[in-house]
Structure 1
Amino acid sequence: MIRVRLSLIFIVFYTFLFAQKEKQVPLLKVLNSIEKTYNIKFSFSEDIIENKSINVDNEDSLLTVLIQQIEKKTGLKIKKINDRYYTIVSNTDNIKISGYIFDENSKIPLLDAAVFTKEKGVGTDEKGYFELKGLHEKDTVTFSFVGYENIQKTVAELKKENSITVYLKESSQTLNEIIISSYLTTGIAKNTDGSILLTPRKQGVLPGLTEADVLLSTQQLPGIQSPIESASGIHIRGGTPDQNLILFDGIKLYNTSHFFGSISAFNPYVVDNVKVYKNASNVKYGNHVSGVIDIETMSDIPKKISAGAGFNFTNADVNTTIPLGEKLGVQFSFRRSISDLLDTPTFDKLSQKVFQNTAIADGETQAEEQPFIEDENNFSFIDFNTKVIYQPNDKNKISLQQIRIKNDLEYELNNEVDNQSRFDFIDIQNEGYGITWNRGWSENLSQETNINYTNYKLFYNGNKKRDGTIYDYTIKNNEVKEVTFSSIFNQKLNDISALNFGYQFTQSDISFSLDQENLDLFKKANESDKKANNQQTILVEYVLSKSKKYNFNVGLRTSYMPLLKKTFLEPRIYGRVQVLPSFWLNTSAEIKQQYTSKIIEFFTSDFGLENELWAISNGKNVPILKSQQVTFGFLFDKGGWLIDTEAYYKNIEGLTSLSTGLDNSSSETIFNGKAAVLGIDILLKKKWTSNISSWVSYTFGENTMDFTGFNDGKSFKGNFNISNALYVAQQLKFGNFDFSLGWTFRTGLPFSDVVDGGFDIEQEQLSQKIENRNQKQLPNFHRLDASATYDFYWSKKRKVKSKIGLSFINIYNRKNILRRTYEEAVDPLNPSRSIINTVDTFSLGFTPNVVFRVQF
């Protein structure tokens, strides 16, 4: 009888609750009915069931089935305490979402796109997949990727979707600036103003590089080369390295490398982007006649804490980015060489190249034969930088930035039998500080104001001792102190045009001192020089741009130099127009001037390192550098094919050459001259699939120089002239693996014949005669490089990411001659007579490198 009554009660409840499947019944009413039917008790907070209604399927009648339906349809969690009591709690603390993120236009998955809330976040894998757990229903999830517009959705919205697919759209600002998004590889783009944009943290692996070395990466671009195979020895379209302007967060740097040019002095893992100009640089850049490399670190307050650490066979580094609230963020990076701690094959190969034909190489050779002993040969470098961003509101942002670069070399050689010793010490450092204020006055008017300070120091101390007494020494100092102030306004006139205008002030102090003594010759020389220069500049630029259709930049810099009492005008024009759906034409013209440059000194030539010094133009024997450049080219981009071609003509005036004939000659003569550069850059690239691409770049260039009173008034090729350069590269991405292979070919550098002109009795020295100034050519240069990296995560939570990589430079160990010079030496057959020896400088041999990184 009891069972019959229960059945009747359940039928009534069942009919009441499930008569219409689609009918929504308040959850509280459903729970009350279940309590009465099954003689149980629910314990819950009224706010978690408030306004909740459900419809329960009428196919099953078991209590466990009813509970499962309620949990599924309400997102609540019902826990059984005992046979009578149950608790109902919110289940919003353990919601999981997963899905994919793609580029809206290309539909290519975005690797390392960020998916985060205020408390947690993850990155996407190579397929664009993400998985985020432990979320609250009311949480807001942000989908973000550098250069793209953010998308925000609540967890409540996302959990309704069975499969989450997010398409991110490139930000309007990025779209207006970029014309080619993958120029060589991912992370390298071409802007509408002709500049190249490198994003190291998004950059695909390049041949010969395990990491996105900032300066070495730029040398993959057509028209940018390093004839002496170094990171900082960047020659842009026939210009020399000291004619380039290199900025780090607005701070001008006079030393940009470690280990005498071998490695860039910038940690790529904190660099947001690098903008490279080969021509027609923005009007805000001054005091250069060649290219511009503008490096920028963190530009916005970070959303979450991140940190990284790693090492390769030359250095180890750590970096971190920390948000200190919603208005303040900090970034820090530190790198240090490991050469004084660990002997690696990479450093050995770099050392062989750097120290060849120097006192260190001679000392090592002598040390192999008694009685010479190499007591000390220590080299070390560090670099660290800090950036702090404070944004009190939407209209103001203030950033403080700092960088320090330091290199030290200490070398000592002893001869215990003769009680002789030699000691050499070099300290090279560049530190800089800056403050930037960005102000948005209105929707159409913004302002950027910078104050920067840079200090470059080079100190050399070398001496020779006999019986504990110094009989020969050289002490050299070269220092640059520079303060800059810049305030530039951007006035948006309408949707397609803008006006930039502003004022810049620069104060440069450059000093050089030399103290040298040779007691054997009873000769003592003390020389010093100090120059200061102030420059005031007013600049204005008009920009007309409509996405990829056209872009025109017309600008003018007007600068006054009190030191020379002269005013300089620097007009710059750049234009690009789309003439067909996938075809653009571009042209540019510019005039530039530069008042700081390097000249060569030979007082420390017997040591063989860092014999160039910075000097200020004085209008006389060191004149102002001036350049004029015009370009014309076209760009084609369709169906994975990219062709970018530019022809150019550049003329540089005011060159200074401090020539001494042979390196160890004591006579010095300063010559002034000019150079004319005619060339063409060609890039041909094919993207076969989203993971496979190939490219070929070719550069033709002729650099002709003329120096008054030099070479009998005849023109000759520049010392670093490379007539033809070809680069072929292949890149393949397979899962988490990234491979690249590249082959470099270029014609050898020019060199001169030097012949023995006999012994000059009056001068009491060997007379040398140069024949065919730079008319001969070294053997062609070529080498094969390769790199491979593998990215992986330590756990399924994807919170810790790692990378391991391997690179090989000059795989087939080609012995390339980089440079040929001559020196006077004692004739081994006749010690009373001197002869001329040929001195060749060779490139890197086969050089491996390994990298390992961890990113949190």
Structure 2
Amino acid sequence: MKKLLQSITLLFTTFVFSQENLTVAYADTPLKQVLLDVQNKTALSFSYAEEVIKDKKINFTGSDITAAVLLGALADQTGLVFEKISETLVIISVPVTKLDVCGYLFDSESNTPLPYATVLVKGTSMGTSTDETGFFQLEDVEEAAKLIIQYVGYADQTVEASAYGTTNCKNIYLRPKAQSLQEVVVLGYLNKGLDKTMDGSFILKNTSLGILPGLVEPDVFQSIQMIPGITSLDESASGIQIRGGSPDQNLIYFDGIKMYNTGHFFGMISTINPYVTESVKIYKGGASPKYGDRISGVIDISSATQVPDTVYAGIGVNGTHADAFLKTPLGKNAGLVLSGRRSYTDALQTPTFDALAEKVFQNTKIVTDFGGQVVEDDDDASEIVGDENFFFYDANGKLILEPSNNDRITIGGLLTRNDLDFSSSDDEDLTQDLLIIENQGASFSWQGTRWGKFQHSLKAYYSHFDSDYNNTVSEDLLVEEENLRKNTVEDYGMDLNISYDFLPHQNIMLGYQYSNSDVFFQLFRDEAGDADIEPGDDDEIPLPSETRDFNEIRQNVNQANTVYAEYWYQPANKGFVSLGARASHYSLVDDFFLEPRLNVEYPITDKLRLKVTAERRYQPISQLIEFEDTQLRLENNIWTLSDGNDIPVLESSQFSGGFLLNVDDWTLDIDGYFKKIKGLTSFTNGFTNAAEELSQGESDIVGLDVLLRKKIGSYRIWLGYTFNDVEYRFEELQSNPFPGNNDVTHNFRIANTYETGNWQFSVGWNYRTGLPFTPVDSFSTITGDIDFGPVNSERLPNYHRLDASLIYKFGISTSGRTKATFGVSLQNVYSRQVPISIFYRVDQDPNTGLDELNQIEQLSLGFTPNATFRLYF
């Protein structure tokens, strides 16, 4: 190898160097002195590290020779590589030697193999996983490289690649972490990179996540929808519903920043760049008491947590946007991670964008008569005028500091923005929609260990959400109607906790949290274009049936002070017990709230585990559903604080129990649950037949999540099923209970993945029961009044679609450092579209002057192709 590199170098330099004749005489002369002499005699200059040329001596005499001949002699005597990168600059380096490496991973205590562990080549995209025996192998690894070995529940270990050549395939022993709360009980729960841990949560590792049906990128919010009990009823990335809860009931963090908007393009694309996401922790229930202020699931997303060893970067493009990221060291104990994405849809519209835009900007209108019967079905009732001027971007950065082996400090920042200018027309009206949604945030974290048994954590965050929407309806250039909707949330807070391992496998944690939330919204409507409306102090929230013109402004501030504690015990039989509680005071309602938590997993055998959780949770902030007849239906949610009157603090009591069986690459996971929610309002649940007065109610949710998975070599198949019975009780709306708006009785998914060589394939089919909706009994064309039938007494058609995807990975450089990925995905392969929601709008017939009732349907996503190409270097 060395002789080959020297020969290549000699031929290269002979061809490109200018033919400058030299006379030299070196006798045991240090290489550095020789290089200085050559620089004085030629136009060449040299770049090198001192340790590379240290102790190198040259013995060479020549007259009337070229610089190329001299450099060839220097390369031959030193064994170094002289590489010309410009007309005058030569870089001197040590030849890169590559080798194949291998090893076996074992638990240091039990000496048992560790299958499906992640083995990464530090600073590159190269990596693999161990097989069932704990064995791994990597080809063409640089001899000087380091291997990072990761296994959930164990301390990461870094080893020298040179020590594990295929001629010396040695054992590597990993030590369990002192706090192994994330110890895995199911590796590759669905596919590799998604594991289930002992406390019932799920850990998603983006760096090792396998392919999933319909996806060509490891998007967090799309990926976790494969887990039974987690879904999005509007097919979006941001509309995550966990065990019958609504999206605003989920607590979502990104690097410690509390998120209030998680979707681009009306939620169809995640705001989180998957290529800087390192891990995600997901709770469907039984969350640690350090998580509060939401009553449903928890999604805690983290980007890089360790200082990068070398510069590592990537760029990519798909059917809607392009992105880039950079991970680079800033010295030995500091590193920086940067990323950015921007859509190009305002300049180029691809088939992917066309499919998404068809769903987002659709406005199918069905006209009914006074009896509510369909008299006209016009699928093209609205025609797009001009271009859909839409774009989005996001950027984030993170500074990582490791001042000591026991401390890690991170400082992060995030910015996301959506910008829309859209107009459409029907027979008589021109409608224009202007929308800007922005989320900014910053975070600070200091985590450390003292004396081996004390751990401390100090975190702080700032989050600012701003949504500004303007809708105008015009006829013959005259504004007939104007709607404004503005919503801002400014939230900052901190978290301090300490934990102590006071006995083997036992730990106690104590913590304090503070947060300050300032929430503002304005709802304005001027239907005739001449209303004289002044902002008032009236706290009544306007309902569609109360008035056609209004200007409602509301701003509230809530300060929350919370103390929490958690005790956990992990016995020798690999069981798990967690007892915890939160006690919070909310200033807006001037009241205290106690939240007990219990989480138990007990192994009956080494293959069968029982699990039980119980918890009470409270939520002081939620989203209203604004029902005015604006054209866009996907962004009508408004964040607002509870006030103890119209909008009470949400309360949830949750219980779950089930078992987990894991044997011979079969996994059967069954979990039943019951959830009771109090404090719901008719506006926070989006009823189309809201009463004259804002009404309060509650819900009972009974559900069952089932997963059956089988792994056969490189092939995986899983079947997921969720049964949900969501029952609402709103006495002011209806005397008897009725199905909730998100009551999906049956949700079934089957998916397959297969890997061979550099190829990955996946196909999946999803089926679910149609959502309930409220029918119209009658409609008056004179007064515009609507008489609704029983609440949610009818259902939309059942929903199903087939998705497929493939990914191909390959190297494009001889060094192996530059790699590429190409992927293709197809969503809704057979292009079946059904209504997934229904709204009603009263409009005026321009010919008769009478009111007409328009039934507005939002159809499901049609056939949606996508492709991606990425480079890593």
Report deviation, 1:855. 0.8
**For the residues of structure 2 that align with 1:565 and 1:851, how far apart are their CA atoms?**
52
Question: Does residue 1:540 correspond to 2:565, yes or no?
Answer: yes
Report deviation, 1:616. 0.3
Bigger mean CA offset, 744-753 vs 293-302: 744-753
For residue 824 of structure 2, what is the aligned residue in structure 1?
Answer: 806
Report deviation, 1:89. 6.6
**For the residues of structure 2 that align with 1:621 and 1:196, how far apart are their CA atoms?**
36
Contact 2:100 2:138 in 1 (8 A): yes
C-alpha deviations, 1:735-763, integer Å up to 9, x for none?
1100011011111111222111546xxxx
For residue 866 of structure 2, what is the aligned residue in structure 1?
Answer: 849
Contact 1:44 1:88 in 2 (8 A): no
For residue 645 of structure 1, what is the aligned residue in structure 2?
Answer: 670
Question: Does residue 1:401 correspond to 2:420, yes or no?
Answer: no
Describe the shift of the 1:250–1:599 C-alpha distance in structure 2 as closer, same or farther (beyond 3 A).
same
Which residue among 146, 159, 166 is the counterpart of 1:152? 159
Which residue among 708, 730, 745 is the counterpart of 1:707? 730
Question: Does residue 1:384 correspond to 2:384, yes or no?
Answer: no
C-alpha deviations, 1:109-154, integer Å up to 9, x for none?
87762168xxxx7834687323345x5xxx6855544656425359
Report deviation, 1:801. 1.1
Which residue among 576, 580, 584 is the counterpart of 1:555? 580
**For the residues of structure 1 that align with 2:386 and 2:417, how far apart are their CA atoms?**
23
For structure 2, the residue ranges without an aligned partner over 5 or more in a row are: 1-26, 31-54, 62-72, 81-93, 107-111, 130-135, 366-376, 534-549
For residue 763 of structure 2, what is the aligned residue in structure 1?
Answer: 741
For residue 462 of structure 2, what is the aligned residue in structure 1?
Answer: 453
Question: Does residue 1:123 correspond to 2:134, yes or no?
Answer: no
Contact 2:319 2:866 in 1 (8 A): yes
Pairwise CA RMSD of aligned residues?
3.3
**For the residues of structure 2 that align with 1:343 and 1:351, how far apart are their CA atoms?**
10
For residue 567 of structure 1, what is the aligned residue in structure 2?
Answer: 592
Describe the SS at the equivalent of 2:784.
strand
1:42-57 matches, within 5 Å, as none
**For the residues of structure 1 that align with 2:787 and 2:685, how far apart are their CA atoms?**
12
Report deviation, 1:176. 5.6
Describe the SS at the equivalent of 1:670.
coil
Which residue among 300, 320, 323 is the counterpart of 1:317? 323
Contact 1:503 1:538 in 2 (8 A): yes
Contact 1:122 1:132 in 2 (8 A): no
For residue 443 of structure 2, what is the aligned residue in structure 1?
Answer: 434
Identity percentage of aligned residues: 33
1:483-498 matches, within 5 Å, as 483-498=492-507
Question: Does residue 1:755 correspond to 2:777, yes or no?
Answer: yes
For residue 780 of structure 1, what is the aligned residue in structure 2?
Answer: 798
Report deviation, 1:228. 1.4
Describe the SS at the equivalent of 2:525.
strand
Question: Does residue 1:682 correspond to 2:706, yes or no?
Answer: yes
Which residue among 744, 762, 768 is the counterpart of 1:722? 744
Contact 1:181 1:188 in 2 (8 A): yes
**For the residues of structure 1 that align with 2:238 and 2:471, how far apart are their CA atoms?**
25
**For the residues of structure 2 that align with 1:329 and 1:781, how far apart are their CA atoms?**
47
Report deviation, 1:389. 0.9
Describe the SS at the equivalent of 1:702.
strand
Describe the shift of the 1:404–1:171 C-alpha distance in structure 2 as closer, same or farther (beyond 3 A).
farther
**For the residues of structure 1 that align with 2:56 and 2:583, how far apart are their CA atoms?**
72
**For the residues of structure 2 that align with 1:162 and 1:45, how far apart are their CA atoms?**
39
Report deviation, 1:807. 0.5
Report deviation, 1:108. 6.1
Q: Work out which of the two has the higher radius of gyration on C-alpha atoms and give 1 or 2.
A: 1
Report deviation, 1:522. 4.2
Describe the SS at the equivalent of 2:386.
strand
Describe the SS at the equivalent of 2:237.
coil
For structure 1, the residue ranges without an aligned partner over 5 or more in a row are: 1-42, 47-75
Question: Does residue 1:272 correspond to 2:296, yes or no?
Answer: no
C-alpha deviations, 1:559-601, integer Å up to 9, x for none?
0112212110000100001111200000000000000000122
Contact 1:349 1:844 in 2 (8 A): yes
**For the residues of structure 2 that align with 1:489 and 1:217, how far apart are their CA atoms?**
33
Report deviation, 1:604. 5.6
Contact 1:249 1:296 in 2 (8 A): yes
Describe the shift of the 1:464–1:289 C-alpha distance in structure 2 as closer, same or farther (beyond 3 A).
same
Contact 1:511 1:529 in 2 (8 A): yes
Counterpart residue identity of residue 438, structure 1: Q
1:75-474 matches, within 5 Å, as 96-101=98-103, 103-104=105-106, 113-114=120-121, 123-124=126-127, 128-133=137-142, 141-142=146-147, 144-145=149-150, 149-153=156-160, 155=162, 162-164=167-169, 167=172, 169=174, 172=177, 177-357=183-363, 374-412=385-423, 422-464=431-473, 470=479, 472-474=481-483
The number of residues matched between the two structures is 757
Counterpart residue identity of residue 374, structure 1: V
Counterpart residue identity of residue 842, structure 2: E
Question: Does residue 1:500 correspond to 2:509, yes or no?
Answer: yes
| TM-score normalised by the chain length of structure 2 | 0.81
Describe the SS at the equivalent of 1:772.
coil
Counterpart residue identity of residue 859, structure 2: F
Report deviation, 1:326. 1.0
Describe the SS at the equivalent of 2:188.
coil
